[in-house]
Amino acid sequence: MLTQAQNDRITRVAPGTPMGNLMRRYWHPVAASVEVNEENPTKEVRLLGEDLVLFRSTRGVVGLIEPSCPHRKANLSYGVPEPEGIRCAYHGWLFDETGACIDQPSEPAGSKFKDKVKLKAYKTEELGGLIFAYMGPEPAPLLPNWDILTWTNVTRTINAVDMPANWLQCMDNSLDPVHFQWLHRYWGGWNIARKLPAGEGQDFDRSTLSRGREHVKVGFDRFEYGIVKRRLLEGETEEDQWWRIGHPILFPNILRVAQDHWHSFQYRIPIDDTHTKHMLYTVVVPEPGVTVAEQGFVPYVERELYDEKGRLNNTIVPAQDEAAWVMQGPITDRTTEHLGVTDVGIILFRKMINENLQIVEDGGEPINVHRDPAKNVAIPLATEHTYYPGDDFTGGQFADKPLLPPQVEASMQ
C-alpha cells in the first residue's frame, strides 16, 4: 500500500515528473518500421504524455517532431514527404528530422526568418523492424542491441494494442508469477469455455477449469538490466529451468518471455499517465540447420482490446493480461490495495524504481542505460526452456547456470 504521493511518483510520466524524467533515460519503440512508408508517410503518436508526429522522408529517413507547424499551427501529420523532410500542407514550410526549418518557399528572397523557427525533435533509430525514440537529456545512450532484435535467420512479427491503463500495472503483473494460475488458467479457461457450444463447453471445463500446476515458490534476483523471475512448480525440482534460469524483466518497462522456439519482448510503452501501448515483439527460431526465408520487412498488426460487445477480449494469454491491467483502472489506486505474501516481486520492483528515481535526481545514470559499444552486441538474455539459434537444447549459453538461491523468495505452501 502506497500513499497518493508515492503512487504518483512511480506512475506519472509527463515531462518534468520524476518518473517522466526516469522513463526519458531509455529508448522506447514508438512504432513498427512498416507503419511509416510511402502510402502512410506520417503517423500521429503520443509518447510519455507528448503529442508528436512521426514521419519518413522519401529518402527513408525517420523523424519525430512536435505536431504543429510553427507558422500557423497546422498539424504536420498531413504534410507531404520530400527527400529532406516533411513539408507542411498549408504553406509549404519544410522541416527535417532535427526539427530545423529548411524552406519557407513564399517568404521574400533573402529572408532569414526560417533560421529563427525550430521544432522540438527527438532522436530515432530503427532496429529489428521497430522505430525507437529517445526523449531524454543528451548525450543519448546507445540503443541496446538485445539478442532477439539482432538475430538473423529468424521470423519476426509485431503486434500492439493501445490500452486505457497506466504502464506500471503491466509491470506489476510481470513481477507476479502467481497470477498465471488464476488469470490465465482459471479465469481464462472459464471465459474460453463459456464461448464454446453447450456440450463442448463442459468438456472444455473439465480439462481447463483448474488452476494448472501450483506454484510451490517464487523467487526474484536483481541483475544488471533489471530483475530475473523464477518459479518452482509442483512436481519439479529446483534443477528445473523454471527455477534455475527463469526469465527477465528489463528495467523499466519490458518483459522478456519465451518458450520452446519463440522468444518475445512485451514492451509496455507509456502513451501518457493513463494510456499504454502494449507491443508484442515475437521472434521464432528455426530448428538447427533450417534456413528460413528472408523477411524483407517485419509485419505489424494492431490488435483489438474490446470484443464486439464492448467487453475486454480474454481468450488469448496477452489479452487476459491486458484485461487485468485495464480493469485495475486508469491508474490503479495503490493507496487502498492490500499486498499479500505472493506480491514480494512487486515490492522489490517498486523498491528498484524508487532507487533509480533517486539516482536520476542525484545526477547519476540509472540501471540498464547502455554506453559501451563493445558490450552492445546481441546482448544475451536468459529464458528457461527455450531454444536459441543453432541449439538442440534449451537455455542457450545459460543452460548450465548454477543453482543459486534467489535474493527474494516467497513460498506458497
C-alpha cell at 306: 474490446
Does position 75 interact with other proteins (CB under 8 A)? The reply is: yes
Does position 14 interact with other proteins (CB under 8 A)? The reply is: no
Beta strands at 408-411 and 215-223: parallel, antiparallel or unpaired: antiparallel
Q: Which is nearer to other proteins, 74 or 121 (CB)?
A: 74
**CB proximity list for 348: less than 8 A, separation 6 or greater:** 175, 220, 222, 227, 408
Report DSSP state, residue 339. Answer: -
Which range binds other proteins by CB under 8 A, 20-28, 64-72, 141-149, 303-311?
A: 64-72
Does position 56 interact with other proteins (CB under 8 A)? The reply is: no
How many amino acids of this chain bind other proteins (CB under 8 A)? 36
The edge-to-edge listing of strands for the beta sheet with 101-103 is: 80-81, 86-87, 94-95, 101-103
The SS3 of residue 289 is coil
Q: Which is nearer to other proteins, 57 or 368 (CB)?
A: 57
DSSP state string for 232-244: EETT--TTSHHHH
Beta strands at 226-233 and 247-250: parallel, antiparallel or unpaired: antiparallel
Which of 14, 34, 61, 80 binds other proteins (CB under 8 A)? It is: 80
CB of 30 to other proteins, least distance (A): 20
Does position 70 interact with other proteins (CB under 8 A)? The reply is: yes
Contact 47, 135 (CB under 8 A): yes
Does position 306 interact with other proteins (CB under 8 A)? The reply is: no
Residues of this chain, 24-43, that bind other proteins according to CB under 8 A: 38-39
Report DSSP state, residue 118. Answer: B
Contact 396, 258 (CB under 8 A): no
d(CA 129, CA 111): 41
Does position 296 interact with other proteins (CB under 8 A)? The reply is: no
Query: Rounded to 5 degrees, what angle do the CA atoms 122, 61, 380 make?
Result: 70
Does position 58 interact with other proteins (CB under 8 A)? The reply is: yes
CB of 223 to other proteins, least distance (A): 44
Does position 187 interact with other proteins (CB under 8 A)? The reply is: no
Q: Which is nearer to other proteins, 38 or 239 (CB)?
A: 38
Residues of this chain, 81-140, that bind other proteins according to CB under 8 A: 81-84, 87-92, 94, 103-109, 111, 113, 116-117
CB of 285 to other proteins, least distance (A): 34
Which of 8, 46, 61, 78 binds other proteins (CB under 8 A)? It is: 78
Say which residue the cell 558490450 belongs to: 375
Q: Which residues pair with 407 in a beta bridge?
A: none
Interaction site with other proteins (CB under 8 A): 38-39, 58, 68, 70-75, 77-84, 87-92, 94, 103-109, 111, 113, 116-117
